[in-house]
Structure 1
Amino acid sequence: MTTLRNLPKSASFTRWLTPDSRVPSIEEAKKVPEETVRRARPVDGSFTWMRPEKRKEVQLAAVSEPAMRDLGLDPEESKTQEFLNVFSGQEVIEDEQKGIYPWSQAYAGWQFGEWAGQLGDGRVVSLFESTNQKTGKRYELQLKGAGLTPYSRFADGKAVLRSSIREALVSEHLNALGIPTTRALSLVQLPGTFARRYTMEECAIVCRMAESWIRIGTFDFHRARGARDEMRKLADYCISEVFQLDATAKDRYQQLYREIVTRNATTLGYWQAYGFMNGVLNTDNTSILGLSMDFGPFSFMDTFDAAYTPNHDDGLLRYSFKNQPSAVWWNMLRLGEDLGELLGAGDLVDDETFKKDGLKQDQVQGVIKRAEEFIESQHDVFKEAFMMQYTKLMRARLGLKEERDSDNDDIFTPLLDTLQDCELDYNVFFRNLSNVDLSKTDFAELIDADRGFAPSKTTEEAAEAVTKWIQETYKPRLESEGTSEEDRRKLMNSVNPKFLLRTWLLDEVIKEATSKGSFDLYNTVQNMALNPFQDSWGGDADLEKRYTSPPAKAQKGIQCSCSS
């Protein structure tokens, strides 16, 4: 563990890629008037050198110790003034010789299936990268809510405390669950800074960290501009620096695409198994590393409903639970189109004339055909990677050890149908099942007492349906594996969280922080979120029971907007 001052720092992203021509160097960035560089405008590079805006008042509200450790920072550093200054944007770390200076990334995107044009880091400024000397993991640290940038469009460059609390907590909670995700190092309140959303709201800054913040939208941006050279630079950067693939291989761009497809499919497997929904799976919110990212109207499933979407603007259910797999694959197709020339180039890939001038007319159809065939072939890779992770985790959630090809049809789908038909809480069911005595003949205890306004089944009928699945499907499978009750419980409790970060619960945390200025409840919930598999957390027993029970009717299936 080290201090912030001694933390190793680098900036590979800005070293590899081309800056905005309006601010071509760090030296120039220091000269350009702030009002000029922050003005919304079309950008022609991969990033813009950009300092965070200074705020009137800053106050450290929360820190994630697991994130501190993963970065290699001594947890005691969070108590220093330097920590607050740097991660609130009041102080800038720079080293012109190493190319270290804050920047904002350019990207574009498809939103709800429609082309949205240039987007970019409209309120985010990246500070530097740092590699943990023990683990070898490199993280790019950035501030969300850091002020106006050329990518702000019609927005104000701010992030409100409400959405910042949600993002800080869920980032670390997903990591604790084992789900690939971006991280949240710290949360800083800005007591003197406000933004108008539905009402005037206090603002905040989250210091986020990820091994890379490149998204599908980063590739979309260069394709839309026809920037062949920068597209190739970006792909080469991802190959060498992000994935560390063989940069000399003839099929390196195919390897890159396959890696991105596989990682996103794998993360999708985690989401579907745990009932997590991002809510806004646009290409600008889809990580090349398959990290859960950019948390707006996200949610975990309450009562199981495959058609549920946490986004109240998603009237067509594009990003609902059942449609997440098709949404992610749709984004992979857009990436395939972005990289099409490189994917289909074949033997031309390193030809100097091709690199400089592009395709000749008689080469176009052959390249298109090769690219289309390759992209189509990756759909099977996507499905296989998704099903492998999904079925692996679902088996573990049920305490099953043997892998069988028929598990999805014979075990999981009938269970999900039963949960939906009986209106049961998705995740509470698994945790309760892990601790139930399977030698019994009645499983009414697994039925939620408060299921819906007009349940489709009575409590007795629901109990009968669950009992039937346990007796006819679940128990015979366990018996065929010879799994002991002790082993079953141990395996299930290691993957079935007792605590999940629900929307209604987050609303309580937000209310206490925004109306009372207290982060006591935040700290309590953060402790539970960081240790979701524990049975208890040493706090208020009544509160812990309420936060780990199925939600009441009014708390279920809450939808949010993208406002943040």
Structure 2
Amino acid sequence: MSSPESAPADPSTPSGPGGWRLEHTYAALPEDLHQSILPTPVEAPELVILNRPLAIALGLDPDALAENATDFLSGNVPPPGAAPLAQAYAGHQYGNFTNLGDGRAILLGEQIAPDGNRHDIQLKGPGRTRYSRGGDGRAALGPMLREYLISEAMQALGIPTTRSLAVVATGEAVHRQDGPLPGAVLTRTAASHIRVGTFQYVAATEDRTALLALTRYTLARHFPEKVGAANPALALLDGVVERQADLIARWMMVGFVHGVMNTDNMVLSGETIDYGPCAFMDTYDPATVFSSIDRRGRYAYANQPSIAGWNLARFAEAILPLIHEEQTDAINLATGSIHGFQPRYQDQWLAGMRGKLGLFGAEEDDLSLIHALLQWMADAGQDFTNTFAALSTADTHLSTDDAFTTWHTAWQARLTRQPQTLDESIALRAASNPAVIPRNHLVEHALAAATTDGDLQPFHALLEVISNPFAHGQVPELYRTPPPADGERYVTYCGT
């Protein structure tokens, strides 16, 4: 079987009605990797929210899209040029391997944007597929609005992410443990949905031809600069390692806790995907866990870099036969690539943390300076976001206790040793530290108002604020205030 290549997209190709310009290169991969299937129609679709700026960036007419959303984005009528399919993949879920697949997601196609970039257009909640494993294939409104909100916050923070184009209410109830909930379909966009688990699925079949096809396809789609490498599989591994190191460093710098870093939730494009149990830290604590099912803290905040390395090792195992014919040589080459993750992550994280403190250049003691601040924050129970936001101003003396005073003195001395001015340092800090994140208690309030009362005003107000997270001095106090210190521990669930 020849390997399908992800040919460069031609943005000048005429679009269909409303700007749809769908291609289907993933469908050319071996048939075992996907199932052609139409979404299951819903009773009374109603558009809840449309991401107009994203629609424009994709080359879609937002007015036409809004007019046809109850058809195209509910699953009732495929948009022009769609060829719907569900993708197969496997994954280590909390360390346990299982076959999975799109149990409640259907890919409509790959939209070619005006800039030539290729974007998967996927419906979440459009009905059952052969991968549903007894599920109903549907989604609830609350979790879909949650994914919309958090993914747009990540986009505004400059963190690579899948995005949400629209949410459509279905007019039908979905039945969960908590009882009936209003149903919805989310339209998600992504550079692709190719996961570590996609490769694990193919590797488990021991189909070398399919594995080679998937490798070549992924390399061409996401790492075109590496096409033609002497060792394509190793080149792909190197590229994925680099992007994941960069991504996890960005998570850590804003206090983001993904919550469910299973291998099926690591996409090779380097985007953040799956916003079910995720949340942002309030009080700084490296052991922070939000997910209701992560009882042992496998995916705690501080564990995210090591878990990413673990996931990358599983990816390397999947493509090992393609790295070298001799297993020992393949393992050595793959190990060398995986070992590149930690130093790249550390470099990216350290560079980002220097920016958060307004530090230019590098000094040997910078790492100790950063760790001393984090230790004080942990010991004093300080808010992660607000501490760094406060350090972005000219008045930075936040506490009179000895530990902070000692740290502050060392930090000020470090600032005086760099040639940049104080104003330049403050500008760097302001650009590196968000003034606002999606506070968990405000997210829950917005979702409850939308799903229980049909009131979307709190949702839109929160969305507007978090869409401009570096607007220092302009964020209302409501959105900067952490939850009450005596409140219950925040818990998230795998609702998306």
TM score, norm. by length of structure 2: 0.93
Q: Say whether the 8 Å CA contact 1:163–1:296 is kept in structure 2.
A: yes
The structure with the larger Rg is: 1
Q: CA deviation at 1:562?
A: 1.9
- Picking from 29, 40, 45, the partner of 1:53 is 40
| Residue 464 (structure 1) aligned with residue 402 (structure 2) | yes
- Determine the C-alpha separation between the residues in 2 that align with 1:406 and 1:63: 48
Identity value in percent? 30
Report the 3-state secondary structure (helix = DSSP H, G, I; strand = E; otherwise coil) of the residue aligned with 1:163.
helix
| Residue 387 (structure 1) aligned with residue 346 (structure 2) | yes
- Determine the C-alpha separation between the residues in 1 that align with 2:21 and 2:112: 6
- Determine the C-alpha separation between the residues in 1 that align with 2:17 and 2:190: 17
Q: CA deviation at 1:4?
A: 5.5
Gapped regions of structure 1 (runs ≥ 5)? 20-44, 346-366, 445-459
- Determine the C-alpha separation between the residues in 2 that align with 1:504 and 1:389: 30
- Picking from 110, 120, 124, the partner of 2:105 is 124
- Determine the C-alpha separation between the residues in 2 that align with 1:474 and 1:69: 45
| Residue 546 (structure 1) aligned with residue 478 (structure 2) | yes
- Determine the C-alpha separation between the residues in 2 that align with 1:73 and 1:465: 54
- Picking from 443, 451, 461, the partner of 1:514 is 451
Match of 2:95 in 1: 113
Q: 1:72 to 1:6 in 2, by over 3 A?
A: closer
Report the 3-state secondary structure (helix = DSSP H, G, I; strand = E; otherwise coil) of the residue aligned with 2:392.
helix
| Residue 91 (structure 1) aligned with residue 77 (structure 2) | yes
Q: CA deviation at 1:3?
A: 7.8
- Determine the C-alpha separation between the residues in 2 that align with 1:210 and 1:529: 21
Q: CA deviation at 1:396?
A: 1.1
Report the 3-state secondary structure (helix = DSSP H, G, I; strand = E; otherwise coil) of the residue aligned with 1:323.
helix
Q: CA deviation at 1:522?
A: 1.1
Q: CA deviation at 1:154?
A: 2.2
Q: CA deviation at 1:248?
A: 3.6
Q: Say whether the 8 Å CA contact 1:56–1:193 is kept in structure 2.
A: no
Match of 1:14 in 2: 27
- Determine the C-alpha separation between the residues in 2 that align with 1:226 and 1:395: 46
- Determine the C-alpha separation between the residues in 2 that align with 1:86 and 1:74: 13
Q: Say whether the 8 Å CA contact 1:127–1:141 is kept in structure 2.
A: yes
Letter in 1 for 2:384: Y
Q: CA deviation at 1:556?
A: 7.1
- Picking from 165, 171, 182, the partner of 1:202 is 182
Letter in 2 for 1:18: P
Match of 1:352 in 2: none
Query: What do residues 121-160 of structure 1 show as CA deviations (whole Å, max 9, x unaligned)?
Result: 0000111111222x22210100111111111102111111
Q: CA deviation at 1:485?
A: 2.8
Report the 3-state secondary structure (helix = DSSP H, G, I; strand = E; otherwise coil) of the residue aligned with 1:443.
coil
Letter in 2 for 1:430: F
Q: CA deviation at 1:94?
A: 5.3
Q: 1:14 to 1:3 in 2, by over 3 A?
A: closer
Match of 1:356 in 2: none
Report the 3-state secondary structure (helix = DSSP H, G, I; strand = E; otherwise coil) of the residue aligned with 1:149.
coil
Q: CA deviation at 1:495?
A: 2.0
- Picking from 196, 217, 224, the partner of 2:197 is 217
Q: What is the 5 A alignment of 1:181-260?
A: 181-260=161-240
- Determine the C-alpha separation between the residues in 2 that align with 1:285 and 1:212: 12
Match of 2:439 in 1: 502
Match of 1:160 in 2: 140
Q: CA deviation at 1:79?
A: 3.1
Letter in 2 for 1:125: I
Letter in 2 for 1:160: A
Letter in 1 for 2:92: W
Q: Say whether the 8 Å CA contact 2:385–2:433 is kept in structure 1.
A: yes
Query: What do residues 280-323 of structure 1 show as CA deviations (whole Å, max 9, x unaligned)?
Result: 00000111112110111101111011011111211221100111
Match of 1:306 in 2: 286
Match of 1:25 in 2: none
Query: What do residues 434-487 of structure 1 show as CA deviations (whole Å, max 9, x unaligned)?
Result: 12425xxx533xxxxxxxxxxxxxxx6xx432222111x211111111433322
- Picking from 460, 473, 492, the partner of 1:560 is 492
- Determine the C-alpha separation between the residues in 1 that align with 2:148 and 2:93: 24
Query: What do residues 152-175 of structure 1 show as CA deviations (whole Å, max 9, x unaligned)?
Result: 102111111121111111111101
Q: What is the 5 A alignment of 1:331-370?
A: 331-345=311-325, 367-370=326-329
Aligned-residue CA RMSD in angstroms?
Answer: 1.9
Q: CA deviation at 1:64?
A: 2.1
Match of 2:361 in 1: 402
Query: How many aligned residue pairs are there?
Result: 483
